Amino acid sequence: MSSSSDLTNIVALVTGANRGIGFETARELGERGATVVLGARELASGETAAHLLRARGWKAQALRLDVTKPEDHASAYQYLLQQHGRLDILVNNAGILCYDNAVTASPSELRRIFETNFFGVVGLTQALLPLVRKSAAGRIVNLSSILGSLTLHSDPSAPIYTSKVFSYNASKTALNAFTVHLAYELRDTAIKVNSADPGWVKTAMGGAQAPLEVSEGGGTSVRLATLPADGPSGGFMHLERTLPW
């Protein structure tokens, strides 16, 4: 697989794909020929998004998938196994945000954020890994954030130094740890695992003040999802740039 390749025979699952960065990622993969399965918590919203891609002549399917529900992980496995027999690309895009700090954050809110941003990703990835192993060149992309970088959060001169939203940032730091550990465990396979920072994007989560358009938000995910055989694994990247952990 390469960043310029035809993805005609590639099967990709993107979670949280009914809008925003997830939809843009699915759109770009579909445009290049991949069969894209759009995971969404509400099947109706997933179907609407998939219809938009099919209307352009691309191959898109919708799948009801709440990443916090183990039963949805199992049903996603069965769906992909029956429909495609394997999974070439898994983009763990679904995520949620809250604004809190380390002094007042409630344990219940911290758990809620981690359920989607971390535990859901780990559980779904583990459930689907047998299908990714069936791919000739499996790619797993975990949607992280530069706000997960402990190095930058510890540097008073860093541009994100004051961006201390505790639960969200901590969940992305944990997600980065999963990327490093999973890449290590799969080091002797053709599977590549990386964390992607999409940048600050104008989405429902990013807000209208974000500098990047939605059309730019899927760039890093698509690049990591289509890495060539000599591409990196276990990295943390924004486009071509490696970020500090």
Q: DSSP 3-state helix, strand, coil percentages of the chain (rounded to 5)?
A: 40, 15, 45
Catalytic residue among 79, 99, 161, 168: 168
**Spatial separation of the C-alpha atoms in residues 203 and 215, rounded to whole Å:** 10
Is residue 168 part of the annotated active site? The answer reads: yes
Backbone dihedral angles phi then psi of residue 41, each to the nearest 5 degrees = -65, -35
Distance between CA atoms of residues 243 and 133, nearest Å: 27
Report the alpha-carbon distance of residue 34 to residue 61 in Å, rounded.
11
Q: How far apart are CA 110 and CA 108, in angstroms?
A: 5
**Residues taking part in catalysis:** 168
